A and B are shown apart, each in its own frame.
Chain A
């Protein structure tokens, strides 16, 4: 393609040929406008996004001042009784996210490895599209899927787990799992099932990042491992995975950040319950986003600021997780090698 470009005007001929020609003529007017415009946009975005962060921070000061540390230790959310705390909510948020991670991490890792190292060419591009599409599916659709299609099957697994490993507090359910007519409703709407639906959102995110890093594993080392007689798994174990360790951790953390803030799917599946319990298979839990979605409607101003504070705490957690992820991803993917 031929492009015509504006030529910079030739430098003014200097009167004395022996003084050096000025090399940086400064910015063109068009460039000055361009730089100014881009700076303005950058600053507007900075001001807007920064304002949100600061606003949330300032909003939470009165709440934290009023409730003090009880805000973090109180489990109930009873604004009428002036009892407000996020202890149970935070535990629920983390439980749902952890279930999602436990399910999605091995699947995302294996899928990414399959795409880069194992899949035949035809399947490979097709799988990449599938994973990208999976990332685009709205979370509320995964919520419907989890509630109507997955839940009737998942409660059987939940019952099985509570039957055989119920002595472990995480898998315990407060009902008799061996009863002839077992109480199905004790196993529905749990953190476990919500986590399964959230995992569907976490898988494509983690997989895309892991795949990107696996692809960059040095070809020479791969070939060397193959030439030494390594199997594909041998190559993956000795070359690809050690190279991509940072990307694997980073991708997982990024997916965790997303899982912590998920609203719609969780809102559809769980039934709210405000108690700290490790029993992820049991009905009822609460997450921060679901708390906000469920309580903002009839909240007074001070309750709204309490909800904002709960949201701000969630934001700080996801921010910490994301920053942690960014450090790992940056370390493993430098962007070098794109220069020509």
Chain B
């Protein structure tokens, strides 16, 4: 908020100025303005309530909200234009529209999270949902039987392997592109950048055709990890490159001037300075991997039993469990799907909070 201060007038030997020293607030939103806004909201609501439901007999909540907004813009515009010049009218309308757009997006996200947890609640209250697998349990079995432990374990193992492979490859590539700047770095950058455009399903299909059809391997968790790594490495490499590039060159030069070797400069100066960006890049890639549905669908296939071994037998994962449960169209299976979605959402939230914490911690220490 910008504030303008009224300057005290300078008098050599006069009494101190009489004008109040409190800053004058510009762009203040007076009580009159507030009444105009609230009144317009109520007036348009009343107008649409009568018109929408009783004169035109429209139906549907969404349509009601849209009409309410249109009516609000008209009413509010008219009210504001009574006492204000055109730029202020435009400003008010734009401000209210921006508030509304932000509210829509926040509401959409909030409704997603709340809805998933609300629908999954009935599955989540049973302890066996977290401690059992679905082996021998039919999709229509009551919620007191079976659980999604196999899917949770599968997701953790698959994403774990993919991350363990793609972090060194991704960050190594980013270092190669920005720090080593070898002869091939331009080509590497072009290819890696274009590979971020690779749709996940195509990465899955590639691994399926090469490893499973051509080489005759079976559908396993490892194939899923391989396909995930294919999508994760370009993400980490590109986001990591951006993070490394904004490290001020002066830091590198200072380190070199102190006599550090290039290796020491990178490991002690460049990477720590870019740590926040690198962590963000990695978390982004992990979040993508955790939510990946198409890849497990193609490369592993759903299983109902616990499998700790990524090299043998199919391995289920949470998104795949959700999808297969959804395709049964059984109400209990769908409740389980929402339960699994709640667990998935919790994992993503936990990751997200961890990332925030790590990044903020870094920022505070500097």
Interface presence of B345 (CB below 8 A): yes
Interface presence of A31 (CB below 8 A): yes
Contact B245 A45 (CB under 8 A): no
The segment out of A74-82, A168-176, A262-270 that lies at the interface is: A262-270
Report A194-228 CB contacts with B as 1/0, cut-off 8 Å. 00000010010000000000000000000000100
CB distance from B200 to the nearest CB of A (A): 6
Contact A153 B201 (CB under 8 A): no
Contact A311 B173 (CB under 8 A): no
CB distance from A169 to the nearest CB of B (A): 22
DSSP class of A's interface residues: helix, strand, loop or mixed?
A: helix
List A contacts of B356 (CB < 8 A).
Answer: 129
List A contacts of B193 (CB < 8 A).
Answer: 322, 326
Contact A138 B293 (CB under 8 A): yes
Contact B169 A134 (CB under 8 A): no
- Complex CA gap A144/B298 in Å reads 20
CB distance from B93 to the nearest CB of A (A): 9
List A contacts of B319 (CB < 8 A).
Answer: 138, 140, 264
Interface presence of A13 (CB below 8 A): no
- Complex CA gap A134/B95 in Å reads 23
Q: If the complex has contacts A138-B290, A153-B61, A226-B2, are A319 and B197 also in contact, measured as CB distance less than 8 A?
A: yes
Contact A156 B112 (CB under 8 A): no
CB distance from B27 to the nearest CB of A (A): 8
List B contacts of A30 (CB < 8 A).
Answer: 261, 263-264
Partner of A148, one of B115, B194, B200: B115
List B contacts of A261 (CB < 8 A).
Answer: 197-202
Report A246-289 CB contacts with B as 1/0, cut-off 8 Å. 00000000000100111110011000000000000000000011
Q: B356 — nearest CB in chain A belongs to which residue?
A: A129
DSSP class of B's interface residues: helix, strand, loop or mixed?
A: helix
Contact B184 A46 (CB under 8 A): yes
The segment out of A61-69, A84-92, A230-238 that lies at the interface is: A230-238
- Complex CA gap A53/B206 in Å reads 10
Partner of A140, one of B168, B262, B341: B341
Chain A: interface size category: 35 or more
Contact B109 A133 (CB under 8 A): yes
The segment out of B16-24, B141-149, B174-182 that lies at the interface is: B174-182
Interface presence of B74 (CB below 8 A): no
Within 8 A of A (CB), among B227-245: 230, 233-234, 237, 245
Binding site for A on B (CB under 8 A): 1-2, 58-63, 66, 87-88, 90-91, 94-95, 97-99, 101-102, 104-106, 108-109, 111-113, 115-116, 119, 168-170, 172-173, 175-177, 179-180, 182, 184-185, 187-188, 191-203, 205-206, 208-210, 213, 230, 233-234, 237, 245-251, 255, 258-264, 266, 268-269, 283-284, 287, 290-294, 297-298, 319, 322-323, 326, 337-338, 341, 344-345, 348-349, 351-352, 356
* 20 extra A-B contacts, CB within 8 A, seeds A5-B268, A53-B194, A120-B1: A3-B269, A31-B262, A39-B180, A43-B188, A49-B192, A50-B191, A56-B202, A115-B102, A133-B349, A137-B112, A138-B287, A232-B95, A263-B199, A264-B323, A293-B201, A301-B213, A318-B198, A322-B193, A338-B247, A339-B250
Listed A/B pairs (7) with beta-carbon separation below 8 Å: A46-B188, A48-B233, A49-B230, A50-B191, A138-B292, A289-B294, A323-B194
